[in-house]
A and B are shown apart, each in its own frame.
Chain A
Amino acid sequence: MDFSVVIEYFPRLLSGTWITLQLVVLSVVLGGIVALPIALARVSKNRWINSLPFAYIFFFRGTPLLVQIFLVYYGASQFEVVRESMFWPILREPYWCAVIAFTLNTSAYTAEIFRGAIQAIPRGEVEACMVVGMTKAQMYRRILLPRAFGIVLPAYGNEIILMLKGSALASTITLLDLTGMARTIIARTYTPIEIFLAAGAIYLAISIVVIYLFKLIEQRQNRYLGTLSIKVPDKG
């Protein structure tokens, strides 16, 4: 083991980390925006409204992220039509292909998490809204969505961490994210254990920050529940 390579190449690992962070933040934010309408359509009882989001979620949760990235990056570019379309300047770039694939993927998972949260709200609260005469829009805006937001947090934090780790697949389409950078360094130094350990430590550090942030938001969002949701009762 020779950890001097880690010190020597640390700046390059950090520049890879920066790409990884961009990819994750962009796709999580865009994915969240896409997910909300999908989730709302998904809870509809009307079959015409809920079948399309159902198929969308089914496809993106049921196929590997790697396959999705390859389809967007290598698949689409094989067609002359795509290469001559106005979208080519975007689809040409591995960076945007990764963002597109990650956004589609995470939006499907997030929509499903939102749906679960909306449906987990106790029936009594929905009935209470109806009793006081709220319209459907008022009910969602004032009660259901804020409530769902509180319920969704633990699962959503989990999804972001999964996305962080999934982003390593960007390295397969020539992006020099943290994993891509690590592999490029290893191709030079033949010290896979040292460099991958360092890359793993950086991923871990990012995860810790995400976990901590979500803990803070959770405490704030769910404080009306008292300390119940935060403290685990002693076993003794």
Chain B
Amino acid sequence: MKLKNIALGSALLMGATLAALPAQAADKVRIATEGAWAPFNYIDENGKPQGFDVDIAWALCEKMAADCEVVTQDWDGLIPGLKVRKFDAIIASMSITEERLRAVDFSNKYYSGGLRYLAPKGSNIDLNNLNGKVIGAQRATLAAQYLEDNLMSTAELKFYDTQDNVYLDLVAGRLDVVLSDELPTYDWLKTSGNGDKFEFKGEAFKKEDEIGIAVRKGDKLKDKFNKALDEILADGTYAEINAKYFPFSIY
């Protein structure tokens, strides 16, 4: 009798859980972002994704008159998730690279990046000779790829799941140097309270780095995004969002 009750109870519970799942609307555009890349995308205290990428996403949706939903996904699961249709587009500060273009299509750029080294203030770092230095970057990013391609054999490279963990280990003293995108690091130096202990080293490079919206190969959504992108650039919406985060143009 007791066993039967337990079985019945769990069946009811499962039914309730299933019923609670939202019905999937067919024509909804699901946009994925990472949520750990302030100020471009991060999770606010209410658990909602916020930031430059997310603002751009909503602005584009408005122009496309589409019903959108913004979801978050760990960085290295973004492209795999897009490919298996867990969502329809990635607006997560993703650089347009040759390797990625083999897996997905990209819209036109919606801002430009650039890599820059970060190290403790006053530390003696010769960027032309990083032999034996411990260098950190986020896994599956342009920075990680650059390090793998150029410093694999000479420096000790460490790759992290999120950029936040890279900063944590830099503060902890496990890393001599960090390579990351200039803009989010600019924000980190300004807002994390560590700006007095760390500084950029050298100038930004890879400035030709363009950030785009990733969609599945051959998806028509790409053209819609491009059209909406042109519209927000023309009518000043883009400049407004830009000014919210950076005092200079990042396009």
Q: B109 → chain A, closest Cβ, in Å? A: 20
Provide the bound-state CA to CA distance between A189 and B174, in Å. Answer: 28
Provide the bound-state CA to CA distance between A44 and B215, in Å. Answer: 63
> A187, B139: Cβ atoms under 8 Å?
yes
A-B contact pairs, 11 of them (CB 8 A): A74-B172, A77-B173, A83-B172, A92-B173, A92-B174, A172-B161, A183-B140, A186-B140, A187-B139, A189-B99, A190-B80
Q: B85 → chain A, closest Cβ, in Å? A: 14
> A186, B76: Cβ atoms under 8 Å?
yes
For residue A78, CB closer than 8 A to chain B, the reply is yes
> A77, B174: Cβ atoms under 8 Å?
yes
Residues of B within 8 A of A (CB): 76, 79-80, 83, 99-100, 102-103, 136, 139-140, 144-145, 148, 158-161, 165, 168-169, 171-174
Provide the bound-state CA to CA distance between A188 and B161, in Å. Answer: 15
Known: A174-B158, A183-B139, A187-B159. 12 other contacts (CB 8 A): A74-B169, A77-B169, A78-B168, A172-B161, A174-B169, A183-B140, A184-B139, A187-B139, A187-B144, A188-B148, A189-B99, A190-B99
Residues of A within 8 A of B (CB): 74, 77-78, 83, 92, 94, 172, 174, 183-184, 186-190, 192
Provide the bound-state CA to CA distance between A92 and B156, in Å. Answer: 14
Query: Interface on chain B toward A: helix, strand, loop, or mixed SS?
Result: helix
Provide the bound-state CA to CA distance between A184 and B80, in Å. Answer: 14
Q: B5 → chain A, closest Cβ, in Å? A: 28
> A174, B160: Cβ atoms under 8 Å?
yes
> A188, B139: Cβ atoms under 8 Å?
no
Q: A162 → chain B, closest Cβ, in Å? A: 22
Number of A-B contacts (CB under 8 A): 49
For the complex of A and B, the 9 pairs showing the least CB-CB separation, nearest first, are: A187-B140, A77-B172, A190-B103, A174-B158, A192-B80, A74-B168, A187-B139, A190-B79, A187-B76
Provide the bound-state CA to CA distance between A174 and B162, in Å. Answer: 11
Residue in chain B with minimal CB distance to A83: B173
Residues of A within 8 A of B168 (CB): 74, 77-78
Residues of A within 8 A of B140 (CB): 183, 186-187
Residue in chain B with minimal CB distance to A79: B172
Residue in chain B with minimal CB distance to A187: B140
Residues of B within 8 A of A92 (CB): 173-174
Residues of A within 8 A of B76 (CB): 183, 186-187
Provide the bound-state CA to CA distance between A10 and B160, in Å. Answer: 22
Residues of A within 8 A of B169 (CB): 74, 77, 174
- Assuming the A-B contacts A77-B172, A187-B140, A190-B79, are A174 and B159 also in contact, with contact meaning beta carbons closer than 8 angstroms in the complex? yes
Provide the bound-state CA to CA distance between A94 and B169, in Å. Answer: 11
- Assuming the A-B contacts A172-B161, A183-B139, are A188 and B99 also in contact, with contact meaning beta carbons closer than 8 angstroms in the complex? yes
Residue in chain A with minimal CB distance to B75: A187
Q: B151 → chain A, closest Cβ, in Å? A: 15
Provide the bound-state CA to CA distance between A77 and B174, in Å. Answer: 9
Provide the bound-state CA to CA distance between A192 and B169, in Å. Answer: 27
Residues of B within 8 A of A172 (CB): 161
Q: B81 → chain A, closest Cβ, in Å? A: 10
Residues of A within 8 A of B158 (CB): 94, 174
Residues of B within 8 A of A83 (CB): 172-173
Residue in chain A with minimal CB distance to B162: A172
> B165, A74: Cβ atoms under 8 Å?
yes
Residues of A within 8 A of B159 (CB): 174, 184, 187
Residue in chain B with minimal CB distance to A88: B173
Residue in chain B with minimal CB distance to A84: B173
Q: A219 → chain B, closest Cβ, in Å? A: 36
Provide the bound-state CA to CA distance between A184 and B157, in Å. Answer: 12
Provide the bound-state CA to CA distance between A92 and B83, in Å. Answer: 38
Residue in chain A with minimal CB distance to B174: A92
Provide the bound-state CA to CA distance between A189 and B172, in Å. Answer: 31
Residues of B within 8 A of A186 (CB): 76, 80, 140
> B139, A78: Cβ atoms under 8 Å?
no
Residue in chain B with minimal CB distance to A186: B76
Provide the bound-state CA to CA distance between A57 and B140, in Å. Answer: 38
Residue in chain A with minimal CB distance to B160: A174
Q: B153 → chain A, closest Cβ, in Å? A: 14
